[in-house]
């Protein structure tokens, strides 16, 4: 034992020295575990890794982003791999990755790094209230973070791990510049093992189930450290090729053999596992450089790389379109909507989902919805049809208008190949609606006119099974296809976005008259029709025009057509506008009632008395609501129980 002990003691000292050289504390028992902290995690590298003032930092990031070209990405963005050195060294490389976020929006960003200062079993989530940078605070998604910690015992919250860690902090200013209304889940790994990464990935994906949110994953890492320039190029090339293979098991095997040199190896390995689980199929290197390229000191350099991970979704279901003309030279003209796009070979319509392929027009989204939900029917909004029932709701990508205020722009203003979709043919939609006790199917969220073939074939099957069909639309459709559709549609909510041609042209790139014509056709064809008018402050809140619209409704559609004045929330290209004042909505409702409309509602203001349905004769509440939920329904066989007045609608 006397001979053996010194040997092991020397090895132990060498281990301590190796940890100390990297400021790593190997003693996990020194870490304090808590569940949540109300504290704000303050910046620790502000003023060193990036500018310490908000003005200088904003200018720095804008300059970095403006210096780089955005590489067009086909498919759905899953994640990024970005460096984390000071912005003067790796900021431009990071900008190549973050440039991919322009025009995109994510609800939650899951940041993954590897600890520079501690080695401990498992991982630590920074479950603070928020993280702070000179640009402000970024909220932590505490619900998601807490649920992940509860799910997997290897994941804790050790505040010490996050207090001095820069690898995630340096990502935040880029995200704050490019994204709006997002939260983060900051994860630091304490060790490198494929097994640990698998546990973390399983916990994350398990807790993301059922969350209808857009999630972005980011792994933070630099590449080789302090090798001569040419050696670094060779080492980093091996690492880059390993990452591009998108094979987490192979990557971890190479890490264990010491083949790859990067400080965030565990973060990258974890992201690769996430990508595999999400069926990503492409890792693309956007830019590589090392510190020698910046400082010209090539004796000891650090490598930096930016990658984008995506899921190219080529599963566009082709079905020949129903309304179009064929011309010579393989040209076609779409006759579905008032745009009447004339398309040469390969061209798509303005909607982005109808394409000329070898002289024939095809829809690219048949059976490929991007949104599938079960909603209260009141959410459509529909108030005079089956109150309190559930509606199976679907939408594909695309739209034939370009409303600057669109609340669903993430799906309406994208191409179908750039967003995840589901394989859901008409018969499956009907089956799921029945299995989930829905009484209707709603074609909604984007603009169902552009998935006309999918909608009408689904509606035919739904009607055979006794389901109602709901068309939630802007009404931008030609008369012939609309009249055919009306044979299978029971209910529609038509959005009259404004009441001047100038408004439609400026804010929607469309026309008003076709919309009004669609409303009249649906009324003629016996579709139960309800109308919505979204009021934008200072844009379409002229009470004289609102009165004119209401008078048109009375004259052409009658007094019993329900009308909703909906509250605007800042969205898409109109985030500079405030929310619509409730007083504006109430004034519009007063005008509509003065004109003679019987059923006038206020939308997007939960708890407002104008959510209820009132009897136009006695004024009593017949159907009471809070938000999208019915709290009482006093209808008696379609009549007011207090005075016997018939209340128009579809009640059974």
Digit-coded pLDDT (tens) for 153-167: 999 999 999 999 999
Distance separating alpha carbons of residues 56 and 209, to the nearest angstrom = 40
> What band does 5 get if pLDDT is binned at 50, 70 and 90?
very low
Are the beta carbons of 513 and 460 closer than 8 angstroms? no
The residues near 438 (Cβ < 8 Å, ≥ 6 apart) are: 374, 389, 390, 391, 392, 467
pLDDT tens for 576-605 read 999 999 999 999 999 999 999 999 999 999
Are the beta carbons of 504 and 498 closer than 8 angstroms? yes
Distance separating alpha carbons of residues 605 and 586, to the nearest angstrom = 11
Q: Tokens 């006759």 map to which residue?
A: 335
C-alpha torsion sign, points 145, 262, 100, 578: positive
For residue 515, give both structure tokens: 């919309």
> What band does 212 get if pLDDT is binned at 50, 70 and 90?
confident
Q: pTM to 2 decimals? A: 0.59
Distance separating alpha carbons of residues 442 and 467, to the nearest angstrom = 10
Predicted confidence (pLDDT) at residue 24 exceeds the cutoff of 50: no
**If you average pLDDT over residues 282-301, what whole number do you get?**
95
Of 109, 68, 115, nearest to 91 by C-alpha is 68
Are the beta carbons of 574 and 402 closer than 8 angstroms? no
> What band does 420 get if pLDDT is binned at 50, 70 and 90?
confident
Residue 94: per-residue pLDDT: 98
Predicted confidence (pLDDT) at residue 618 exceeds the cutoff of 70: yes
> What band does 76 get if pLDDT is binned at 50, 70 and 90?
confident
Are the beta carbons of 386 and 377 closer than 8 angstroms? yes
pLDDT tens for 112-124 read 999 999 999 999 9
Are the beta carbons of 179 and 105 closer than 8 angstroms? yes
The residues near 603 (Cβ < 8 Å, ≥ 6 apart) are: 381, 532, 564, 565, 566, 567
Residue 314: per-residue pLDDT: 53
Predicted confidence (pLDDT) at residue 19 exceeds the cutoff of 60: no
**If you average pLDDT over residues 211-225, what whole number do you get?**
95
Q: Which residues of 323-354 are buried (b: 16+ CB within 10 A; e: fewer)?
A: bbeeeeeeebbbbbbbbebebeeeebbbbbbb
Residue 127: per-residue pLDDT: 97
Are the beta carbons of 106 and 214 closer than 8 angstroms? yes
Predicted confidence (pLDDT) at residue 461 exceeds the cutoff of 80: yes
pLDDT tens for 523-582 read 999 999 999 999 999 999 999 999 999 999 999 999 999 999 999 999 999 999 999 999
> What band does 13 get if pLDDT is binned at 50, 70 and 90?
very low
Of 114, 638, 182, 646, nearest to 410 by C-alpha is 182
Rg value, the chain, Cα: 29
> What band does 479 get if pLDDT is binned at 50, 70 and 90?
very high
> What band does 282 get if pLDDT is binned at 50, 70 and 90?
confident
Report the alpha-carbon angle 413-74-213, nearest 5. Answer: 55
For residue 421, give both structure tokens: 């979709």
Report the alpha-carbon angle 397-403-409, nearest 5. Answer: 40
Distance separating alpha carbons of residues 614 and 643, to the nearest angstrom = 12
Residue 71: per-residue pLDDT: 87
Domain ranges of the chain: 4-311, 371-633
Cα dihedral 162/166/167/173 (nearest 10) = 110
Predicted confidence (pLDDT) at residue 332 exceeds the cutoff of 70: yes
Are the beta carbons of 222 and 302 closer than 8 angstroms? yes
For residue 185, give both structure tokens: 């889940």
Query: Which CATH architecture best describes the domain 4-311?
Result: 3-Layer(aba) Sandwich (3.40)
> What band does 429 get if pLDDT is binned at 50, 70 and 90?
very high
Over pLDDT 70: what percentage of the chain?
95
Query: Which CATH architecture best describes the domain 371-633?
Result: Alpha-Beta Barrel (3.20)
> What 8-state DSSP symbol labels residue 635?
-
Residue 329: per-residue pLDDT: 87
Residue 20: per-residue pLDDT: 36
Residue 617: per-residue pLDDT: 96
Packed helices 194-208 and 142-151: angle between N→C axes, nearest 10 degrees: 130
Estimate the share of the chain in helix, then strand, then coil, as percent rounded to the nearest 5: 35, 25, 40
C-alpha torsion sign, points 62, 65, 67, 72: negative
Distance separating alpha carbons of residues 37 and 35, to the nearest angstrom = 7
Over pLDDT 90: what percentage of the chain?
89
Mean pLDDT of the chain: 93
Of the listed ranges 227-241, 309-323, 481-495, 617-631, the least confidently predicted one is 309-323
Residue 313: per-residue pLDDT: 57
Question: What is the Cα 460 distance to its own chain's centre?
Answer: 31
> What band does 315 get if pLDDT is binned at 50, 70 and 90?
low
Question: What is the Cα 515 distance to its own chain's centre?
Answer: 28
For residue 443, give both structure tokens: 């074609």
The count of other CB atoms within 10 Å of the CB of residue 95 is 24
Q: How many DSSP H helices and E strands does the chain contain?
A: 19, 29
> What band does 459 get if pLDDT is binned at 50, 70 and 90?
very high
CA-to-CA dists, residue 67 to 62, 288, 574, angstroms: 9, 15, 27
**If you average pLDDT over residues 60-77, what whole number do you get?**
91
Predicted confidence (pLDDT) at residue 250 exceeds the cutoff of 70: yes
Residue 30: per-residue pLDDT: 80
pLDDT tens for 362-387 read 999 999 999 999 999 999 999 999 99
pLDDT tens for 499-530 read 999 999 999 999 999 999 999 999 999 999 99
pLDDT tens for 33-54 read 999 999 999 999 999 999 999 9
Of the listed ranges 97-101, 281-285, 291-295, the least confidently predicted one is 281-285
For residue 631, give both structure tokens: 């709290």
Of the listed ranges 72-86, 293-307, 537-551, the least confidently predicted one is 72-86
Are the beta carbons of 316 and 365 closer than 8 angstroms? yes
> What band does 4 get if pLDDT is binned at 50, 70 and 90?
very low
DSSP characters for 569-614?
---TT-TTSPPPPHHHHHHHHHHHHHHT-S-EEEES-TT-GGGSEE
Distance separating alpha carbons of residues 445 and 442, to the nearest angstrom = 9
Distance separating alpha carbons of residues 296 and 298, to the nearest angstrom = 6
Residue 395: which H helix or E strand, with range? Answer: strand 390-395
**If you average pLDDT over residues 307-336, what whole number do you get?**
88
**If you average pLDDT over residues 188-198, what whole number do you get?**
95
């Amino acid at each position: 034992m006397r001979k053996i002990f010194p040997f092991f003691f020397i090895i132990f000292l060498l281990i301590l020295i190796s940890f100390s050289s990297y400021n790593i504390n190997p003693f996990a028992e020194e870490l304090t575990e808590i569940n949540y902290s109300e504290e704000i995690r303050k910046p620790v590298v502000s003023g060193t890794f990036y500018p310490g003032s908000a003005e200088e930092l904003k200018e720095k990031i804008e300059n970095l982003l403006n210096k780089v070209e955005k590489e067009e990405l086909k498919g759905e963005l899953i994640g990024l791999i970005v460096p984390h050195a000071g912005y003067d060294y790796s900021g431009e490389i990071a900008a190549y990755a973050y440039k991919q976020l322009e025009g995109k929006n994510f609800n939650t960003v899951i940041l993954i790094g590897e600890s520079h200062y501690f080695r401990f079993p498992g991982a630590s989530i920074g479950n603070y209230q928020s993280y702070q940078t000179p640009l402000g605070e970024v909220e932590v998604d505490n619900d998601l973070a807490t649920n992940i910690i509860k799910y997997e015992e290897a994941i804790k919250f050790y505040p010490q791990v996050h207090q001095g860690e820069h690898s995630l902090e340096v990502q935040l200013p880029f995200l704050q510049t490019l994204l709006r209304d997002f939260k983060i889940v900051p994860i630091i790994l304490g060790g490198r093992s494929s097994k640990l990464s698998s546990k973390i990935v399983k916990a994350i994906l398990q807790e993301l189930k059922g969350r209808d949110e857009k999630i972005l994953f980011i792994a933070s890492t630099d590449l080789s450290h302090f090798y001569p320039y040419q050696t670094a190029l060779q080492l980093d090339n091996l690492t880059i090729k390993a990452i591009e293979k998108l094979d987490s098991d192979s990557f971890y095997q190479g890490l264990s053999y010491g083949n790859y040199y990067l400080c965030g190896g565990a973060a990258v390995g974890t992201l690769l596992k996430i990508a595999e689980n999400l069926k990503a199929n492409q890792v693309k290197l956007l830019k590589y450089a090392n510190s020698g390229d910046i400082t010209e000191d090539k004796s000891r350099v650090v490598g930096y790389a930016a990658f984008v991970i995506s899921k190219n979704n080529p599963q566009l279901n082709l079905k020949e379109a129903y309304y179009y003309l064929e011309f010579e030279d393989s040209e076609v003209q779409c006759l579905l909507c008032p745009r009447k796009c004339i398309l040469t070979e390969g061209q798509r319509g303005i909607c982005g989902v109808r394409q000329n392929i070898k002289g024939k027009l095809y829809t690219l989204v048949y059976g490929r919805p991007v949104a599938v939900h079960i909603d209260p029917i009141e959410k459509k909004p529909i108030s005079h049809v089956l109150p309190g029932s559930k509606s199976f709701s679907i939408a594909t990508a695309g739209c034939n208008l370009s409303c600057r205020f669109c609340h669903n722009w993430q799906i309406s203003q994208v191409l179908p190949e750039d967003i995840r979709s589901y394989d859901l043919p008409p018969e499956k939609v009907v089956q799921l609606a029945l299995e989930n006790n829905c009484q209707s199917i709603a074609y909604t969220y984007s603009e169902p006119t552009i998935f006309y073939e999918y909608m009408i074939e689904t509606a035919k099957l739904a009607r055979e099974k006794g389901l109602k069909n709901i068309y939630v639309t802007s009404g931008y459709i030609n008369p012939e296809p609309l009249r055919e559709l009306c044979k299978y549609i029971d209910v529609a909510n038509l959005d009259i976005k404004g009441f001047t041609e100038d408004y439609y042209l400026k804010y929607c790139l469309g026309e008003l008259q076709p919309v009004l014509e669609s409303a009249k056709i649906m009324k003629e064809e016996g579709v139960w029709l309800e109308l919505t008018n979204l009021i934008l402050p200072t844009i379409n809140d002229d009470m004289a025009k609102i009165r004119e619209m209401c008078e048109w409704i009375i004259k052409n559609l009658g007094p019993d057509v329900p009308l909703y004045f909906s509250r605007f929330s800042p969205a898409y290209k109109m985030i500079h506008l405030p929310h619509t004042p409730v007083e504006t909505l109430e004034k519009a409702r007063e005008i509509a009632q003065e004109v003679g409309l019987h059923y006038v509602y206020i939308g997007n203001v939960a708890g407002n008395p104008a959510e209820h349905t009132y009897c136009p004769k006695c004024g009593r509440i017949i159907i009471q609501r809070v938000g999208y939920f019915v709290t009482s329904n006093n209808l008696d066989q379609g009549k007011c129980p207090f005075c016997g007045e018939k209340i128009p609608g579809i009640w059974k």
